[in-house]
Structures are given as structure tokens and as C-alpha cells.
Chains A and B, each alone.
Chain A
């Protein structure tokens, strides 16, 4: 409610400025803040949502500006056509840069983007015949400042609206999922690489638009406006305003446009100011000004009641899998032969074989370090096996990427539960429901009606799954705030949401109370009764394993030492020796 109020105030303020003053200086300052807002709104998609840092956006800004300038001066296009062309060109350049740069991440990505920015700056200066060299391009036909004021304000509002749409869509969730846990996101069929490229391209499009509008503000441009400092300023404005917050770009942009104007006398201290602000916002405002404000308000108005301990939810069977993916009849679902894997000189898996039947629960047990988790990682594509054949429904999956394997119907959980922080419990499951089916990112930005319809379908399915898993009451809680037992449940719900044919659980009972383990037992058997996915269960809890498994494979030192029905395995001398030591 009060958030809506702040937005209305902001719009009103923007509308009043040109009425109150005819001083072009003020208009100019507000336009600059508007341009910075557009850039940072785009950057927010990349840095705030997707968690990748770029220090080369000044290069993209330059692409937008110079494209527009060339369109207007050489091709004689109108302002609108020039801006549109600039957006298209910058998006294409952004996608190309992203495809190359996003093969790396973190500090490497920062470096590649810095290098990109410097190359662009260098080319602007060197390629004088097109860019005008160090002097830049002059005499660009420009609209009156007042008209331009409205154009930029509308564009800034549009930029914020688009990012808000994106944040609420399957794309927004996918970005946050990739940021929070790349591994878990890939296990749900999302390609982290693809999601990041899309985010980078969106941010490039926004930056290109702002660059083009910048051209029509001054009527001239020169390489001085597109240095590394500019890229740092973009990032600083976003961090200061609030990373990942929709309103963050506005707050940061306004602050960082007005502050230096107020302190023109301190021009010599500008870098100190920027540096300190940067440190300050990283130290004390990890969520920016906007985050700090809304946190303060929440604490004042609505202290959230501490959730009373609930009685353990009665285990209800999960929703049945989608018929399209539900396998017909019985038979072999997964067949692995001769799977070997070693790290340096350490052999993790040696010639392991595993055959999993449709709709069965197949346990993989063994002492610590036996290679159980390594086997799951090979089956789900996180490790490429050194040798061996793996086939799902008769089709080889060995050596495929994790997301490709996930798309073929293998879902998994992790030894340390990997829930997506920054997303609600419901949204976590919604990531699984949507899987790789995200639609185009442009539709998500525009929030088309088809997109919204799909969105409500996704949410209701996610809600149903949560109910079935007994997580209905915590659907709106932050996922990272869940207790360990609930996290594991959430992870299972999320994996089931992808409608897998094979579900791999890595120590689902670790850290669970006896009551919770009993519930898990019921859930697993219910899954089988209903014709759900086959399950590979890696577990140390022998009671659970013996109670639910149809078949057990025992690993020790990376080798299969036994394979058979629970009763056979229990009596197998090799197994007894592995667990209890030689009985000689």
C-alpha cells in the first residue's frame, strides 16, 4: 500500500518538475537521472536477478549512442527509428558478447566485460572515419529539452514496469534460481548459460535504449562519456539503490545524479566520494537504500509473529505424474554398464553396473566414500564418466549436460539440500514446474496475457504439489528460512514438479527426526503405489532402506559388491564384511 504511495509520489514529482521551473539545468539533471534509471533497471536484471557482474556496460551504452547518432546524421532517420535501431543493434552485440563472455563467471566475467568496454572505447577513438575519433559526433538533430524530458521519463517508467513484469515471470524465477544455485537450477532442466545470456541481452537492450536517448539529449557525443568510470558508476548506482529491487535503480540513479551536482565544488574529491559510497553500500546496505527502507518499515509496522510449532503434517500422497511422461508398463528404465570415474589418481567408481526398473525403489548403499554420490552425479550429468554406457529408456544419456538429462526425465535432490534462496517456497517449486519451458524473455518483459495465464497455471500446480507434500502452510515463506527437514521436503517437491520418470534422492533422511523419516517412508511407498517415478535412493538409514526398497545395490570403494533384493543383500557376506569389517 505505502509502496504504491511512493510510486505515485515519484510520478507526481517527475510531472511537476517541468511545471515548476523553466530552468533547463533542472530538466537536464532529471533527464540524466532518468537515463541512469533505464541503464540500471537493465543492469538489475543481470546483476540483481542473475548474479553476474558486468563492468563493461559503458561499451554497450556507447553502442546505443553511436548507432543512434549515425542513424540520425548519416541515414537521416527520425529519432524514434534511430532509438529502435539502436536497441536492436545493442541487443545483438550484447548477445554476442554474452555468448563469449558468459563461458566464464565471477571475477573472470568482470574482466572480460572490462576488456570489452576498453576495446569499444579504443575503437571509438581509432576509427575516426565513422565515429569522429576523440572529438565524437556533432550536430545531431535533437528534440526540444521539454519534449525529450517526457520521452525519457516515459522510457524510464517503461523500463521499471518491464523489469517488474520479468521479476514476476518464470524467467525472473529462473534468473534467481541460477543466481542462488546453478547446480540445482540445472538439475531442473534450466541451462544456466542460456538464462545468463538472456539476462545479459535484456540488460544490453535497456542500456542501448538509454544510450540512444543520451545522444538526443546533448546533440553531440564523444568517447569521454563511455569510459570504465561510467561502467563503475552504473554498477554503483544499482548497488546503492538496491540490488534486485525493482525500485532500486530509481533511488540509486536519483541519488548519484543529484549528489555530484550538489557537490560541484568538491569535484576533485569525486572519486573519493564514489569509492566511499561504494564501500558504504556494500558494508551497510547490502540491499541498498530501498532494501534498508522497506526493511525498516516492515520492522515497524508488522513484526511477523514467530511461527508456532505445527503438528507434523499428515503425509499425503503427491500429485500423480503427468501421463505423457508416465512410463507404460514395467521393464528396465535405466541401465548403466561399466561406469568408471576417477579424480586424478583416486578411483571413485570402477566398472559399476546399475539397472533400475520402472516404478521401483532402488537403494544404493555403502560405507562413506563408497562412491554413491559420485554415481548420482554421473547419472545426472554433473560428472562425465571416464568410461561406461548409461541409457534411459534405451537412449544413451552418458556425457550429456545436467540440464539435458533433467529434460529427459531424471530429477534429483542433493546431499546438502539446495533450495533457491531469495525465492519463496512456492516459487521454488514453480521453478521446477516451469522447468526449461520459459517462453521468450520478451514476452515475459511485456507480461503478455498468454504469459500471465501460463503463470497462474504454474502457480496452482505448484500450490497443489506443496499441499500434497504437507508444505502448504509455509508456501509464502522464504525458502532459505526453512528448517532442515522442510528443506529436504521442499527439494523433493521441486524435483517431483518436473514430472520425472526417475527421481534420485541423495540421503533424504539425513538430519530428519524419526517422525519425519516415517513420513518419508510413507511418501515413497505412496509414490510407487500411484505409478509415480522410479526412485534411486542413496541412504544410510538402514531401517528406511530395508522397508521401502525393491532392490539394493551395495558399493564399496567404487565397486559393486552386491546387488539384489533386500533380504539377499542383508545376508550377503561381502556386504557384512564391508560394513562390519572382516569376520576372520
Chain B
């Protein structure tokens, strides 16, 4: 699951060397929009899912247009802070529309736990990593097999040359933001039944996903997938054996450790220095 959100960081980083620091808020929006359409309005689930994904793609495009494009070529703090700004605005708007309280999101896969020995888990908990892996596979196919995916990769490799080849760079970057927010939206819908829906849920999810992206290596999709699974395991172990709070302390401690030993991530490429 973290892997899915983290992949969003990878996608935008790969095309534009920028990231959507409101990625966690995109997850939150996914959950909130799905709740509004599916639970509150009572639309059928496939339609609700479709509406959610369209809304999230639009959010991603909006973030790119408002917070990234103007600063694409400027110093680093600009886009970083601008995307954070959009994120906290989104959180506040969601809070006004939705209220501060968490709400349960019903799912047929949450009714009956499957018991394995004394430990039980819900089918939904299986669904999350399953859908996650399928989507990651699709993203990889998109990048390696389709013309448009290859264009995005070209932009990442050398924007100048890609531009000369007639690729519309702003549109490519926007597409990568839309795609990345869309993945976050899927994660939001999948997580909603597990976590309850609340406007404040975004920040911490976004940070953990970023931690995963860094551990796995921002430049490496497989690294992120592996790191996502590993991070999830480490979290549940610490939560089980130490305490829930310690879970975050251990998780972020791990990031700092990775950054010190291998700043480019476990499977990322070591960046070469340009002079």
C-alpha cells in the first residue's frame, strides 16, 4: 500500500525531478471523495470509483499547474513548499466539507475476518497489496511498452532533447502528476474501509510513503515496491511487539539510517555529480 503511494513520488520525480509533497493529501481526497459519492450519495461502486479517479487525476493536474510549473526551473524550496501549501489547503477544504470526525467506510470485504490460527484478518487487507501489485505492474507496462510511457521516460532522461523531439514537456509533467495522484486515489479508496475516513489522515500517510520512496530509491520502481512491503512488515512488527507510537519512531529512524548509508536508496541509481 505504501508502495502504491510511494510510486507516485517516483513517477513525478522521474519525469520532472520534482515531487508532490501533498501526495498524502491525495490519498485522503481519494477516500473522502469516494465516501461522498459512494456512501453519502449512494451511487453504485464502479461509478463512484470512476468519479473518484477522475477527480484525483484533476487534483494532480491542478497541483502541477498551480504549485510546480511556475517553479519548475527555480530553486528547490519553491515547488516543495508550494505543493505542501496546496496540501494543507486541500486538508482544510476537506475538513470544512466533511467535518473533522472520522467516518467508517463500509466494505463487503470487512464483514467477516478470515481466521488463521488465533490471528484474524479481513479480506480487504489482502486486497490492498494485491491491487497494489497489479497496479504497479500496469505502471511498469505503461512505461516500457506504450509510446506515451516511453515519451515520459524520455523527458526524465533529457528534457531538452525530448523537447526538441516534439514532446510537450509541460503536458508530460502534468500527465505524470495526474497519474501519480490517481494512484494515490486508488490507495485512498482501498484504505478507506481499513482506516476510517478523516481529513487529517493525509499527512502521515504521505510522509510514510515518502519514507518508503527514499528507502527504495526514488529512481527505482522495483526498489520502491520492495521497500513498501518491507516497511509495512517492520511497522506491524514494531506495533505488535513494542507499541503503536514506536512504529513511527522506528520507521523514520530507518529512513535516516538509509539516507546516511545509501542516500540514493537501496535500489536507486547513484547520482553522478555534474560539474
Contact = CB atoms under 8 A, between A and B. Distances in A.
Contacts of A373: 275
A363 interface: no
Interface string A443-469: 000000000000000000000000000
12 contacts: A53-B76, A53-B81, A106-B76, A108-B263, A111-B210, A115-B207, A119-B252, A126-B246, A268-B95, A272-B89, A272-B92, A278-B82
B62 interface: no
Given A51-B75, A239-B81, A274-B88, A100 B210 contact: no
Contacts of B82: 278-279, 282
B263 A104 contact: yes
Interface of B: 19, 21, 66-67, 70-71, 75-78, 80-82, 84-89, 91-93, 95-96, 203, 207, 210-211, 214, 243, 245-246, 248-249, 252-253, 255-256, 259-260, 263, 272-273, 275
Nearest to B67: A279
Contacts of A107: 19, 21, 76, 80
Nearest to B89: A275
Interface of A: 47, 51, 53, 100-101, 103-104, 106-108, 110-112, 114-116, 118-119, 122-123, 125-126, 183, 228, 232, 235, 239, 268-272, 274-276, 278-279, 282-283, 343, 373, 377, 382-383, 414
B259 A104 contact: yes
Contacts of A383: 273, 275
A122 B248 contact: yes
Given A118-B207, A122-B249, 5 more contacts: A111-B259, A115-B252, A118-B252, A126-B243, A278-B81
Contacts of A276: 85, 89
A271 B22 CA distance: 14
B245 to A, nearest CB: 5
Contacts of A271: 88-89, 91-92, 95
Q: Which of A114, A228, A274 has the most CB of B within 10 A?
A: A114
Minimum-distance CB pairs A-B, first 6:
A271-B92, A275-B89, A115-B252, A278-B85, A275-B85, A272-B92
Contacts of A272: 88-89, 92-93
A276 B246 CA distance: 34
A47 B77 contact: yes
Residue among A47, A276, A278, A373 with max Cβ neighbours from chain B (10 Å):
A278
Contacts of A282: 71, 78, 81-82, 85
Contacts of B75: 51
Given A126-B249, A272-B92, A115 B275 contact: no
A114 B207 CA distance: 8
Contacts of B93: 272
Contacts of A235: 81
Contacts of A119: 248-249, 252-253
Given A111-B214, A183-B275, A272-B89, A123 B84 contact: no
Contacts of B255: 111-112, 115
Contact of A108 (B70, B86, B92, B214): B214
A269 B253 CA distance: 33
B65 to A, nearest CB: 12
Nearest to B246: A126
Most A C-beta atoms less than 10 A away, residue of B214, B253, B256? B256
B88 A118 contact: no
A119 B249 CA distance: 5
Given A111-B211, A125-B245, A343-B272, A228 B203 contact: yes
Contacts of A183: 275
A452 B111 CA distance: 74
A53 B82 CA distance: 13
Contacts of B214: 108, 111
Contacts of A115: 207, 211, 252-253, 255-256
A103 B259 contact: yes
Contacts of B85: 274-276, 278-279, 282
Nearest to A271: B92
Contacts of A110: 21, 80
Contacts of A103: 259-260, 263
Contacts of A116: 252, 256
Contact of A126 (B76, B96, B207, B245): B245
A123 B67 CA distance: 33
A53 B217 CA distance: 21
A271 B95 CA distance: 10
A100 B75 CA distance: 23
Contacts of A111: 207, 210-211, 214, 255, 259
A51 B85 CA distance: 19
Nearest to B74: A286
Nearest to B70: A283
B250 to A, nearest CB: 9
